[in-house]
Amino acid sequence: METTSAAATPGVETKPAQLVIRDLHASVEGKEILRGVDLTVTQGETHALMGPNGSGKSTLANVIMGHPKYVVTKGEVLFKGHNILELSADKRARMGIFLAFQYPSAVPGVTVANFLRRAVEAKREGYDPAANNEATGQVSKRKGMPPSEFRKLINEKMKILKVDQSFINRYLNEGFSGGEKKRAEILQMAMLEPSMAILDETDSGLDIDALRVVSEGVNALRGPRMGVLIITHYQRILNYITPDVVHVMHKGRIIKTGGSDFALELEKKGYEWLIGPEAAEEE
């Protein structure tokens, strides 16, 4: 029986994992949305991605995760030094990338607990692009998880996120309030312990207390082993989760990058000074 974490994380890493995006262009239904994105997020760093509605933030998140609807027409996305654009979303998740969706979908008939259990097992199976043969689609062998171990892990995470026991016995996202959906996403993140987490508007729809709890949860997970890309419209969540770097996206490109104070400046001044009045209205 394998007991080391090295077995769960193929190819023990000595360097921090990096997500490197170069000149990324992507289209959806024939329309070019991403028009040359350059971005590097290193494990241990927190980056905030801001920008007007429709500028391409969620599209970028979906492309990084491998949503099949988006077609990459140019550029590259590397994770841990490997080109991940050819990999399925499932394999990217096994490598340690996690996306908390802006609009999580319901999974009727699957409880939160069962969903999380399978997700954690898949993550532990891992995926090593250097060791696996893409042509045969082979992935590492399935590793089950003893119920007692799962129980212990989920109880620990539920405590951190102040999630009630009854919550995990409900069907995933079915009839969940906006805030409950976001909490379920963060619980999933806590269980998976990704090395790169992308949070797409995790703060929207959260009441003040829930925002604090969720932010504290994210902060409890932050550290040298996790990179975070947090997509948000509001400075508010960045008061809790202080970013190292803040980017503004506009029309499918990152047009400006600054430090954590940059978010405060944006909150005060809006986007117009950066993108011009007509452009601001257009979006």
Ligand X SMILES: Nc1ncnc2c1ncn2[C@@H]1O[C@H](COP(=O)(O)OP(=O)(O)OP(=O)(O)O)[C@@H](O)[C@H]1O
* C-alpha–C-alpha distance, residues 113 and 119, integer Å: 10
For the segment 140-159, give every residue that binds Mg ion (CB under 5 A). Answer: none
Q: Which of 29, 261, 278, 281 binds ligand X (CB under 6 A)?
A: 29
End-to-end CA distance of the chain, in Å?
A: 55
Residue 56 binds which entry of ligand X, Mg ion, none, CB below 5-8 Å type-dependent: ligand X
At residue 252, φ and ψ (nearest 5 deg) are: 80, 15
The pairing of strands 171-172 and 18-28 is unpaired
Pairing of strands 227-231, 196-200: parallel
Site string for Mg ion, 40-69 (x = CB under 5 A): -----------------xx-----------
Q: CA-CA distance, 66 to 216, in Å (whole number)?
A: 28
Query: At its nearest, how many Å lie between ligand X and the CB of residue 181?
Result: 15
Q: What are phi and psi of 156, to 5 degrees?
A: -60, -45
DSSP one-letter string for 243-260: -SEEEEEETTEEEEEE-T
Nearer to Mg ion, 27 or 58 (CB): 58
69 lies in the binding site for ligand X (CB under 6 A): yes
Distance separating alpha carbons of residues 57 and 77, to the nearest angstrom: 15
Give the range of 100-108, 111-119, 122-130, 143-151 binding Mg ion by CB under 5 A: 100-108
At closest approach, how far in Å is the CB of 70 from ligand X? Answer: 7
Instruction: Please choose which of Mg ion, ligand X, none residue 278 contacts, taking the beta carbon within 5 to 8 angstroms, the exact cut-off set by kind.
Output: none
Strands 107-111 and 70-79, by their bridges, are: unpaired
Judged by CB under 6 A, the stretch of 49-57, 120-128, 168-176, 181-189 that binds ligand X is 49-57
Instruction: For the beta carbon of residue 247, count every other beta carbon within 10 angstroms.
Output: 23
Minimum CB separation from Mg ion for residue 226, in Å?
A: 22
- In the complex, the smallest distance separating the C-beta of residue 51 from ligand X, rounded to whole angstroms, is 6
- Identity of the residue, 207 or 283, whose beta carbon is nearer to ligand X in the bound complex: 283
**Nearest-angstrom CA–CA distance, 89 and 85:** 9
Interface with Mg ion (CB under 5 A) = 57-58, 102
Interface with ligand X (CB under 6 A) = 28-29, 33, 51, 53-59, 69, 102
